[in-house]
Amino acid sequence: MTSITNDIHKKTILIATQNKNKRIEILDILKNIPGILFRDIEDFPFLPTVEEDKNTFQENAVKKATILAKACNTWVMADDSGLQIDALNGRPGIFSCRYAGPNATDEKNREKVLSELKGVPKERRTARFVCTIALASPHELFFVVEGRCEGFITEEPKGKRGFGYDPIFYVPQYHQTFGELHSSIKNMISHRADALKQFKERIMPLIRKI
């Protein structure tokens, strides 16, 4: 009963992602924020599908957050993120999750990247993960934050942890890929961790006003 009563006094925020791995990371990093009740997108089955057809991570995140906030009449945080590789002129970028095709698996996406980088020396395999998060209410866009994590692309996958491009993204400071790093470390240094740290700083003043 106490838990239900406490939830009534919390601000509901929908995490607008179908990616369960992203959702797990977000909840793990934001678990200690007081005054907020995070909800999964599965809790709102009537929501429209928002096509991520814009040209930047920010535009996609803002589009998703604003449309879904109006549709479900609550606050929405939307994440658009991906991998930018310098030798590929920033690709896969906004197409990261479907780089090898509309229904491509993580493995197929990684294989395409490694194929395109074949023969490229280490010093030219620089890359970064980028995460943009937008927070909107049914009436306004509150803010947008962006996090980054710099690294290199390996010549082959290493590690079984994480998801997406994690096994081929090498972090020099730790001498391991995201696929090898424990989640407790990844969730302190990743692009998403960077963005969510800013998210915490920006959202707390809004929550205090409620």
pLDDT in tens, 123-164: 999 999 999 999 999 999 999 999 999 999 999 999 999 999
Among 28, 43, 53, 80, the active-site one is: 80
The DSSP H or E segment spanning 153 is strand 141-153
Residue 210 confidence (pLDDT) above 80: no
Alpha helices in 73-182 (DSSP H): 106-116
Is 60 annotated in a binding site? The answer is no
Range of 68's domain? Answer: 2-209
Confidence of residue 8 (pLDDT cuts 50, 70, 90): low
Domain CATH for 188: 3.90.950.10
Instruction: Output the pLDDT for position 7.
Output: 55
Per the structure, the count of domains in the chain is 1
Is 140 annotated in a binding site? The answer is no
Is 208 annotated in a binding site? The answer is no
Residue 5 confidence (pLDDT) above 80: no
Residue 92 pairs in a beta bridge with: 84
Task: Decide if 79 is catalytic.
Answer: no
Q: What would the pLDDT profile of 57-69 be if each residue is shown by its tens digit?
A: 999 999 999 999 9
Angstrom distances, CA of residue 117 to CA of 101, 103, 121, 127, 165: 18, 22, 9, 12, 14
